Amino acid sequence: MQNHVIMLADFDYFFAQCEELRNPTIKDKPVVVGVYSGRTEDSGAVSTSNYVARKYGVKSGMPLFLAKRKLEGTDAVFFHVDHEYYEQISNRIMEIFRGYATNLEQVSVDEAYLDVTEQVEGSFEKAGEYAQKIKADVKRQVGISFTIGVGPNKLIAKIACDSQKPDGLTIIKPEEAEAFLAPLPVDRLLGVGKKTTTRMEQMGIKTISDLAKYDCQRLIEVFGKALGIYFHNAANAVDNEPVQEQGEAESISRIGTLKQDTRDLAFILQKTNELTEDIAQEVAEKGLSFKTVSIYMVLTDLSSKTRSITLEQLAKDKETILRNTRSLFEKFLGESTLEVRRVGVKVSGFSREEPRQKKLTSFFQTA
Ligand code: TTP
Ligand code: CA
C-alpha cells in the first residue's frame, strides 16, 4: 500500500504578518495586533504579535496595557484586528494550495491540511522539495511566509509543524513517526487538555511513549470507549482521518461592548440590533437559512453566559433574529441580578439555498 503524504501549513504570526505586508516599513519593529474593547484607549487583549515583539515577552491573550509596558521605549506599532483583510489574504493562499493538493482541508483562517500523496507519488523525499515549491510560490504571489509539517497522517503533520516555527519545514517519515512522538509530553496531542494531562499524570503517563505502552482496555475504562481508543491510536502514531473539505461555517456571530454596564433591556437591545444588522446582511449574502438564535453576554463579574432558542422552522430574516434576541434577553434579565458588560448575537444550524462560497466565520472569536 502506498504511503499517504499529508502536509499541514500554518501561516507565521499571521495577523501581524498581514499588517507587515501592507506596511512594509514596520517589518523590523515590534508589531502587535490587538482586539480593543473600546472602553478606554488601551483596554483589550493581544491577538497576536510578530517575533520581534515576542522577544520582549508579548504573547497572544495578554492585556494590551501589559504588552505596551513590555514594549516601552521601543518603536513598537499597534494595530486593531482587521478580520476581513486577513480573510482575503487567507483565501488567496488557500486558492493557491488548491492547485497543489488533491484534497484541501482548511481548519482555520491560518491553517490547512493538504493531501499531496499523488503529487509526490508517496515519496517523502519529493515532499520536501514540493513543500519548498509551495512556500516559494505563495511567497512570490502573496508575500506571506508559513510553516509546513509533513507526515504520513494529519496527526503527525500537525505535531511536525508545531515543532519548528516560523518559516519552518519539518518532515517526519512513516518509519520515524513513533520515535518522533515518543519523548513529547502528552498534551501535544489534540484533545489532551489540562484535565486529561492531570488525570494521565496520576496514572503515571507523562510522555506520548508512556501513553503508547499503556493498556488500551484500561484507557477505555478511564476515558470511555471513543477517547480511550483515540488516545491509544494517536500515541502509536495511528490516525486514519482523511483530509477533507470542511462544510459550512457553523455559525455567524457578532459581539460588542456596551458603553456602560447595564440591566436596561432597551439599552442592550440598541447594541444587539446593530449587531443583528450585520449578521442579517451576512446571512443574506451567503444565502443561508438558520434554525437557532443565541445570545451571549459577559457580566460585570466577567462570567459569560449563552442562551439559545431553536426555531420551529428555518428562517432567514432579520425580524426573526430581533424578536428572539429580545425574548432571550428579557428572560435572562429576569433570571440574573448582575449587570451586563458585553453582548453577542449568533445564528446557527444553517441550511443553504445557493451555491457555497468560502468564508471563515468564527464563533464569538473576540477577546
Ligand atoms: P496562531 O497560529 O496560534 O498564531 P500566529 O499565527 O499568530 O503565530 P505562529 O503560528 O507563528 O505561532 O494563531 C493564528 C491567528 O489567530 C493569529 O495570527 C491571531 C489569531 N489569534 C487570536 O486572535 N488570539 C489568540 O489567542 C491566538 C493564539 C491567535
Ligand atoms: Ca499561525
pLDDT in tens, 284-300: 887 889 999 999 999 99
Residue nearest to atom 24 of ligand 1 (CA): 47
- Residue 75, pLDDT above cutoff 50: yes
Ligand 1 pocket, mutate which of 21, 33, 110, 255 (most atoms under 8 A from CB): 110
Do residues 11 and 47 lie in contact, with contact meaning Cβ atoms separated by under 8 Å? no
Task: Determine the distance separating the centroid of ligand 1 and the alpha carbon of 239, expressed in angstroms.
Answer: 25
Q: Which atom of ligand 1 is nearest to the CA of 86?
A: 18
Q: How confident is the model at residue 40 (pLDDT cuts 50, 70, 90)?
A: confident
At 247 the pLDDT is: 65
Residue nearest to atom 22 of ligand 1 (CA): 47
pLDDT in tens, 290-328: 999 999 999 998 888 889 999 999 999 999 999 999 999
Ligand nearest 17 Cα, by number?
1
What gap in Å lies between CA 294 and CA 327, rounded to an integer? Answer: 11
pLDDT in tens, 122-141: 999 999 999 999 999 999 99
| 325-332 contact pairs (CB < 8 A, 24+) | 325/269, 325/272, 325/276, 325/293, 325/295, 326/265, 326/269, 328/293, 328/294, 328/295, 329/265, 329/268, 329/269, 329/272, 329/295, 330/265, 331/307, 332/295, 332/297, 332/305, 332/307
- For the chain, give the mean pLDDT: 92
Ligand 1 and 12: CB distance under 6 A = yes
Q: How confident is the model at residue 250 (pLDDT cuts 50, 70, 90)?
A: confident
Rounded average pLDDT over 195-205? 97
Rounded average pLDDT over 133-153? 98
Ligand 1 and 48: CB distance under 6 A = yes
- Residue 217, pLDDT above cutoff 90: yes
Ligand 1 and 165: CB distance under 6 A = yes
At 356 the pLDDT is: 37
Q: How confident is the model at residue 251 (pLDDT cuts 50, 70, 90)?
A: confident
Q: Is 121 a catalytic residue?
A: no
Q: Which of 111, 178, 245, 330 is catalytic?
A: 111
Ligand nearest 168 Cα, by number?
1
Task: Determine the distance separating the centroid of ligand 2 and the alpha carbon of 101, expressed in angstroms.
Answer: 20
End-to-end CA distance of the chain: 46
Q: How confident is the model at residue 349 (pLDDT cuts 50, 70, 90)?
A: confident
